Amino acid sequence: MKEAIIQTVGLTKIFRNVIAVDQLNLCVTPGIYGFLGPNGAGKTTTIKMLIGSLFPTSGEIEILGHNIAREDKMDIHKWIGYVPERPTYFMHMTGEQFLETNGRIFHLPKQENKAKVAALLKKVDLVEAKDRKIAEYSAGMKQRIGIAQALMNDPRLLILDEITSNLDPIGRNEMVDLLKDLRTEGKTIFVSTHILSEVQKMNADAIGIIDHGHLIIEGGPDALNEKWGVKTIRITPNHAAFRDAISSDTKNLSEDGNSLVVEADDEEIIWEKIAQVSLEQKIPVTEFRAAGMEIEQLFMKAINSEKNDTRDAETREERGKTIRRREKQGRGDGDA
Ligand SMILES: Nc1ncnc2c1ncn2[C@@H]1O[C@H](COP(=O)(O)OP(=O)(O)O)[C@@H](O)[C@H]1O
Ligand SMILES: [Mg+2]
């Protein structure tokens, strides 16, 4: 069993009568965790509860084995580095001043603070821009100084809300590379995004897909493929004899140039049939490659299955009201 860095049980947030986050059971283990979902799914609300800035309506959160409801806020910030979706930094400061100010907040001794700031500026590639005001930074630079700030404390966990969403393609690639570097250093990175391809680029170790406040699936790419059971298989050449042999065992059969692309539950059966035809008719197979579904396909499947779920907007609102009535013992709703 891998160590759980974040674990939530029944995490729920209700604003007025609408469930923003619905009985979320997350289990985040070391590596990059992509928290994926369309706008309004409940990602930011979840993150605000994880970092202790919003009280859950109900449910529990453990970070590195600590139940955060019982911890001091300052302690939580020793474990977590956080970059919000739309950071509002001290725009009048230079990048270097901003980081040094943060070091002082954490009472770092002067020399240690200076060394740390220099190392982090290097890590996020802002050495040359360190004397420029943050207000003049590009979107990507602002996000990178945010990451440097989040790392001042050397936390094991980084929580990043839509870190790539406002960046241009170059800024995105730089950010993805930075996150991968940080993973190599042993950081766990919980990153929310509504952009599917981002999670793929990051090569996320696990993903959780959330929609309407509800966790649809969670797991490593392999586990998710296992669960959804469909494999994409590419077969070259695209020969009529191959197509005929496997057509009854595939869900979807398409042609891509000189290759056949099929979806099937069982790659063994497909391989047996292809191999047989290949031997009998002397058609060499130059490629037979099975891959799990791409995250995009998983995402679409997940969203479609959610649509078929009975939990439509109205029932969610009804459930919200019911839970609200039960929860009348008055826990806070607003930002802490
Ligand atoms: N402070 C709030 N008051 C009322 N509703 C809110 C508040 N914050 C978020 N919501 C609602 O909760 C749902 C989830 O929002 P959010 O967590 O921001 O989603 P995401 O970050 O995935 O886009 C949305 O329906 C949003 O309108
Ligand atoms: Mg959000």
Q: Which of 45, 48, 163 to mutate to test the pocket of ligand 1 (most atoms within 8 A of CB)?
A: 45
d(C-alpha 121, C-alpha 149), whole Å: 10
Give distance in angstroms: CA of 240 to centre of ligand 1. Answer: 52
pLDDT in tens, 157-201: 999 999 998 888 888 898 999 999 999 999 999 999 988 778 878
- At 334, the pLDDT band (50, 70, 90 cuts) reads very low
Q: What is the mean pLDDT of residues 31-47?
A: 94
12 close to 55: Cβ distance less than 8 angstroms? no
Q: How many CA atoms lie within 13 A of 262 on its CB side?
A: 26
pLDDT at 197: 76
The ligand placed nearest to the CA atom of residue 38 is 1
214 close to 311: Cβ distance less than 8 angstroms? yes
DSSP result, 74-143: HHHHHHEEEE-SS----TTSBHHHHHHHHHHHTT--HHHHHHHHHHHHHHTT-STTTTSBGGGS-HHHHH
| Domain ranges within the chain, ordered by starting residue | 6-220+296-326, 231-292
Pick from 165, 160, 164, 135: which is nearest to 148 by CA?
Answer: 160
Within 10 Å of residue 265's Cβ, how many Cβ atoms?
Answer: 12
pLDDT in tens, 277-302: 999 999 998 888 877 656 666 666 66
Pairing of strands 188-193, 206-211: unpaired
Give distance in angstroms: CA of 50 to centre of ligand 1. Answer: 15
pLDDT at 3: 85
Ligand 1: residues within 6 Å at CB? 15, 20, 37, 39-45
The whole-chain average pLDDT of the chain stands at 85
The ligand placed nearest to the CA atom of residue 160 is 2
Identify residues whose C-beta is under 5 A from ligand 2, the ion.
43-44
Give distance in angstroms: CA of 42 to centre of ligand 2. Answer: 7
For 35, the token pair is: 């928290």
pTM of the model: 0.75
The CATH architecture to which 231-292 belongs is 2-Layer Sandwich (3.30)
Give distance in angstroms: CA of 309 to centre of ligand 2. Answer: 23
The ligand placed nearest to the CA atom of residue 85 is 2
Write the residue with the smallest CA distance to atom 10 of ligand 1. 20
- At 203, the pLDDT band (50, 70, 90 cuts) reads confident
Rounded (5°) CA angle 9-15-19: 50
> Which atom of ligand 1 is nearest to 16's Cα?
4
Q: Domain 6-220+296-326 in CATH: superfamily? A: P-loop containing nucleotide triphosphate hydrolases (3.40.50.300)
Percent of the chain with pLDDT strictly greater than 90: 50
d(C-alpha 336, C-alpha 331), whole Å: 11
Backbone angles phi, psi at 313, to 5 degrees: -55, -40
Q: Is 66 helix (H, G, I), strand (E, B) or coil?
A: strand
Q: Is 154 helix (H, G, I), strand (E, B) or coil?
A: coil
Q: Is 160 helix (H, G, I), strand (E, B) or coil?
A: strand
Q: What is the mean pLDDT of residues 70-77?
A: 78
Give distance in angstroms: CA of 286 to centre of ligand 1. Answer: 51
Q: Is 167 helix (H, G, I), strand (E, B) or coil?
A: coil
